[in-house]
Every structure is written in structure tokens, then in C-alpha cells.
Amino acid sequence: MSRKFAAITGVQGYVPDYVMTNKELETMVDTSDEWIRTRTGIETRHILKGEGLGTSDMMVEAVKGLLEKTNTRPEEVDMVIGATITGDMPFPDTANIVCDKIGIKNAFSYDINAACSGFLFALTTGAKFVESGSHKKVIVMGGDKMSSIIDYTDRTTCVIFGDGCGAVMLEPSEEHGVMDSIHHSDGSGRHYLNLKAGGSTKPITHEALDNRENFVYQNGRPVFKAAVSGMSDVVKTIMENNDLSKDDIAWLVPHQANMRIIETVSRMADFPMERVMININRYGNTTAGTLPLCLWDYEDQLKKGDNIILTAFGGGFTWGAIWIKWAY
């Protein structure tokens, strides 16, 4: 029996209208446009403004566009996975809320929390359901409203993150789709990148709020080092395991956390920058949103049969790489 693949048959992104510039951040914390550009590569990021709006509202926009693009009626969708660390609320899952808002009634849906690797982990998970033959139209979403968990008095984190999301449709294919994947996690990384309050070990209390523990904490340097070695290792490994040379790969799609990380990973993987997808300058780090937003931005340049390697590294630590053959 021939192998069945899970092909991406459409991609759609969404970023909110409001653009926060480095200049605006200069008025909020002790930073400079120059520092942010040279240390991170970020020029602007989009921020979701508006009372009561959450990650589901961005995902709804992306999924509506995706359904239109792929000529899919909501009732045809049979599974929806959402990758996010900024769900609308601790429960129910944001994927459930997205389905309700759109009228996707015949799907089962849930969220995956793997921080910046969330889309990667969710894509592999969704692909397995399609490959098994049990599900035919699976939507995988990745995105975050990072502005809801960022401390805008902490210059080490607030300049980096932005809000945004993307979604892909997965459908069965004989030859295109997810070809191989590698995933890792190492919980000892939790000490370097975390959000301390609001979980079961430290529910939100006045004390936690006073200590600003309801916001992202990051010790940037060790995360930087681990991100570079983690992503370059998995990119090299997935290429070696599948006898792929750099000439076989049309695009490398790295998580957009820091332009210096992206450049170092492509150098270590011996991959030319002209074929590396980059949009960190416009969106900053949208956590689970970066990879689908890259695919969305570069969709016009992709060709059927292109080999693409996605890679990400994030909180957990979590990291991995996926090799896909583009289907359209």
C-alpha cells in the first residue's frame, strides 16, 4: 500500500492593524531603535488592541480566509488544532472557541502548548491524523497575542514580541506534504524562559502580580545559544536522514525570534540567506505564529514540489524540524 501524506493545501495569516514601532517603544522603556534593529532585526510588530479581543479573534480571521481560499465549508472540517500559549482563557481551549465562532460543527478541536515550537508540534500531530486516513480536512493554527503576557516595563522582552497568527489546511495527498519530522523537548529549559504565575504551582495572587510574575520571563543569552544549536542540529539531521543537500531545498523557514539567530542557523546549516524566509523585521516574534506567517508571506514564491524545511525553538525547551513538499 502506498504511503499517504498530509499536504498543506492552503495557508492564511492574520496580523492586527495596530503597528508598534521601535520609536514608540523608546517612549516606554530605556531602549533605542538602533539597539533593537542591530540586536534583533525587528523594526515593527503588530499589536491586537481592543477590549475583550483575544487570540481566538485573530485565529478566526485567519481560518475564515483559509476556508475561502480552499473552497471549504465549515461543516467539512473534521479536526482543528490550535498552537498557542496565549489562549483566550486557561480553559476551554481556544481551538474550541474558534470552531464555535466560525460554525465548524463536525470537528474535534484542541490546543497544543509548545511555545514557539507550537505550530511545528501541531503540524506533525495534525499530519498523523491525515496520514492514518481517519481525518480528511485538518486545520492547524498557530498564533499568539503576546502583548497580553508581556511586561511593557521590561526592555529585555517587550521589544521582541508581537501579535499574529496563521493557519494551514491539511488534506490527503499521494506525493506532497509532510515528509519527515524531528521533535525534541527538554523541560530543564523552563528555568530560562517561562511565565510563573497563573498555573497550578503559583495561582495568580496579589503577591504574584506585585512581582510581575504574570508576564514572560526570559534569560536571553542561554536561550539564544540553545536556539542556535538546537535548530542547526535538527536542520542538519533531517537533511542527512533524507539524503537532502542544500541544493535540494527551496526554502528554510526558521522561527523568527532574532535575526542574529536566523543568520547563525543558516550559516551553521550552510544554507544561503536568499532562500531563508524572513519577516521578523515586520512582525517581531509572534511565538506560535511565526512559521505560518512566513509561509503566508512567501506563498506567491512557492512552487509545487518545492522542498521546504521548517524549524523552531522555544520555551520548554522545545524544538524541531519538519520537511515538507509543497503541494501547489
Q: Is 183 a catalytic residue?
A: no
Q: Which residues of 159-183 are buried (b: 16+ CB within 10 A; e: fewer)?
A: bbbbbbbbbbbbbbbeebbbbbbbb
Q: Min. distance of Cβ 160 from ligand UT7 in angstroms?
A: 6
Q: Min. distance of Cβ 46 from ligand UT7 in angstroms?
A: 17
Report the candidate in 165, 145, 189, 127 with the shortest Cα–Cα distance to residue 50.
145
- Give 121's contacts (C-beta < 8 A, 6+ positions apart): 83, 112, 114, 183, 318, 320
Q: Min. distance of Cβ 17 from ligand UT7 in angstroms?
A: 24
Q: Is the peptide bond prior to 92 cis by the omega test (within 30 degrees of 0)?
A: yes
Q: Is the peptide bond prior to 5 cis by the omega test (within 30 degrees of 0)?
A: no
User: Catalytic one among 255, 258, 279, 294?
Assistant: 255
User: Catalytic one among 116, 158, 165, 294?
Assistant: 116
Q: Min. distance of Cβ 260 from ligand UT7 in angstroms?
A: 7
User: Catalytic one among 22, 258, 285, 294?
Assistant: 285
- Residue among 129 and 313 whose Cβ is closer to ligand UT7: 313
Interface with ligand UT7 (CB under 6 A): 31, 35-36, 39-40, 116, 155-156, 159-160, 220-221, 223-224, 227, 257-258, 261, 285, 313-314
Q: Min. distance of Cβ 278 from ligand UT7 in angstroms?
A: 15
- Residue among 96 and 256 whose Cβ is closer to ligand UT7: 256
C-beta of residue 99 within 8 angstroms of C-beta of residue 107: yes
Q: Is 255 a catalytic residue?
A: yes
Q: How far apart are CA 137 and CA 184, in angstroms?
A: 27
- Residue among 217 and 328 whose Cβ is closer to ligand UT7: 217
Q: How far apart are CA 160 and CA 164, in angstroms?
A: 13
- Residue among 66 and 257 whose Cβ is closer to ligand UT7: 257
Instruction: Return the residue nearest ligand UT7 (CB atom).
Output: 220
- Residue among 7 and 261 whose Cβ is closer to ligand UT7: 261
Active site residues: 116, 255, 285
